[in-house]
Amino acid sequence: MMNLEKTVLGIELGSTRIKAVLIDEKHIPVAQGDYEWENQYVNGVWTYSMDMVHDGLQACFASLKADVRARYDTELTTVGAIGVSAMMHGYLPFDKEGRQLAEFRTWRNTITGEAASELTELFGFNIPQRWSIAHLYQAILNGEEHVKDIAFLTTLAGYIHWLLTGEKVMGIGEASGMFPIDSEKLDYDEDMIRKFKTLTGFELRTILPKVLVAGECGGTLTAAGAAFLDPGGTLRAGIPVAPCEGDAGTGMAATNAVRVRTGNVSAGTSDFAMIVTDKPLGVHREIDMVTTPAGLPVAMVHCNNCTSDINAWVNLFGEYAEMMGMSVNKGELFVKLFNKALEGDADCGGLVSFNYFSGEGVTDLNEGRPVFARMPNAEFTLANFMRAHLLSALATLKIGLDILTQTEKVQIEKLCGHGGFFKTPGVGQRMLSAAVGAPVSVMETAGEGGPYGMALLAAYMLFKDEGEPLEDYLDNKVFADAVSVTLMADASDIAGFSVFLSRYKKALPMERCATEVL
């Protein structure tokens, strides 16, 4: 019989899927649930409606309950702790009555260029377009009517945490994507708070969530929260809830990359690299400074686009197969096409691809157009075609990482990959190693990703020893016996990626032109 009070639940609202992972006291996944969804482009804004958020979260939890029932003949009535995560950044404003004042503006939007630029200059600190403070200031600059009524500004994770607990709090890693953090005081940067008030008259501390660090309690599940998550069900109130985190923080936890000079690459709908640093860095538009869930400074290279274009092409190949009368499992098709890329030329035979479904801050594009191009004499094979799209998914990330390693001389002692890009064993891992010129490790739990990382953070809150740092807890209690595979690309792969990237950079004006003419 499963002891439910020793299990821990992690939920993450990702870009294309809401997923729940239940782990036991040994930090091993024992059940899961999920729900597929997709963002919408409405009136010039990438968004998810709150009805979609509510319905999707409840469907995901119902899926988890069904999995527990099927596996263990047990009704999921309680757990030891819960943690909720979601896509970082974005804009969700509410008035004093709790009414939503504007559509949810996700991380994918590139509509705050003016605000981000002005705030970066004011703070002497890079403010990316997707950060909550950039969205707020842009709304102020635009003269949007709702701004005067804002009583609470939060993110998607912060909103769900509020629904479940009634608490307007969030983990420091998630908060660091709303407003800059002082890693010594483990709170919002007070000097920048004052500068923003002088600029706008806004007292941010009255509207931003309270900052908590990993290990602190973020409240308990209320009766209303239990009824929301499990409508008409059996989930009981009173469960401790960890501070909500963003997908960056959960990725760090899931890959044991929270110690200085460790790093991870999360690759799915978007991709981003997180390197925990031990020194201050200069201001670079391509580099975000965020934090680990414990508050250590992290240099983040975030790219809005990763696997969406690959998914679109795989869907096309699947449609072709069906037309030819073949029944093809989508998962098997991904595996075969990813492995086919290993047969391609190291530089993709002269093919070039831009995977930009949306704008990309690293390359200074406010809109995106997926583009595939080739020279007439290029080696146009299926293997090269697939390899070009896999390398394209990492090209922008590489441009940002080069600033860290070459300009800032940041040392990376460990790099771990996780997310859908790494599901086919060895393929995405080898491509990333070719891009960064360093070994890349992938754990057997890599496919679990963010919800697993959030469950680990909730477990840390529940099971940690007095004074035990998050880094030690993960090293000694979670990953001491973890199974992982480390792979180093060979010299020809590394050289081939370099040639591909050179071609990619030269062709960037073509991508910019595409945004203007298509």
Average pLDDT over residues 377-401: 97
Residue pair 284/122 in contact (Cβ under 8 Å)? The answer is: no
Q: Characterize 84-100 residue by residue with b for buried, 16 or more Cβ atoms within 10 angstroms of its Cβ, and e for exposed.
A: bbbbbbbbbbbeeeeee
Residue pair 306/395 in contact (Cβ under 8 Å)? The answer is: no
Global pTM reads: 0.85
At 409 the pLDDT is 87
Query: How does strand 152-154 pair with strand 187-188?
Result: unpaired
The residue ranking higher by pLDDT, 436 or 139, is 139
Encode pLDDT of 94-142 as tens digits: 999 999 999 999 988 889 999 999 999 999 999 999 999 999 999 999 9
Nearest residue to 304 via CA among 45, 487, 130: 130
Position 279 pLDDT exceeds 80: no
Which of the four pLDDT bands, split at 50, 70 and 90, describes residue 447?
low
Encode pLDDT of 393-419 as tens digits: 999 999 999 998 889 988 777 789 888
Which of the four pLDDT bands, split at 50, 70 and 90, describes residue 448?
low
Architecture in CATH of 308-445+488-517: 2-Layer Sandwich (3.30)
User: What is the rounded CA–CA span in Å between residue 361 and residue 480?
Assistant: 38
Find residue 10's DSSP bridge partners. 21, 83
Which of the four pLDDT bands, split at 50, 70 and 90, describes residue 344?
very high
User: What is the rounded CA–CA span in Å between residue 153 and residue 168?
Assistant: 9
Helices (H) and strands (E) in the chain, counts: 16, 22
Position 22 pLDDT exceeds 90: yes
Which of the four pLDDT bands, split at 50, 70 and 90, describes residue 29?
very high
pLDDT-above-70 percentage for the chain: 99
> Angle at Cα 172 formed by Cα 171 and Cα 174, nearest 5°?
70
Outline which parts of the chain fall under CATH 3.30.420.40. 4-255+446-478, 308-445+488-517
Encode pLDDT of 142-182 as tens digits: 999 999 999 999 999 999 999 999 999 999 999 999 999 99
Residue pair 175/209 in contact (Cβ under 8 Å)? The answer is: yes
Of 168-177, 236-245, 478-487, least confident by mean pLDDT is 478-487
User: What is the rounded CA–CA span in Å between residue 339 and residue 386?
Assistant: 9
Residue pair 339/427 in contact (Cβ under 8 Å)? The answer is: yes
Average pLDDT over residues 50-64: 97
Nearest residue to 92 via CA among 34, 37, 153: 153
Fold of 4-255+446-478: Nucleotidyltransferase; domain 5 (3.30.420)
Residue 85 belongs to what H/E stretch?
strand 81-86
pLDDT-above-90 percentage for the chain: 83
At 285 the pLDDT is 87
Which of the four pLDDT bands, split at 50, 70 and 90, describes residue 446?
low
Strand, coil or helix: 47: strand
Question: In sequence order, which ranges of 145-280 are alpha helices (DSSP H)?
Answer: 156-165, 172-175, 190-200, 223-229, 247-254
Residue pair 53/141 in contact (Cβ under 8 Å)? The answer is: no
**What one-character-per-residue DSSP string does 390-433 give?**
HHHHHHHHHHHHHIIIIIS----SEEEEESGGG-STTHHHHHHH
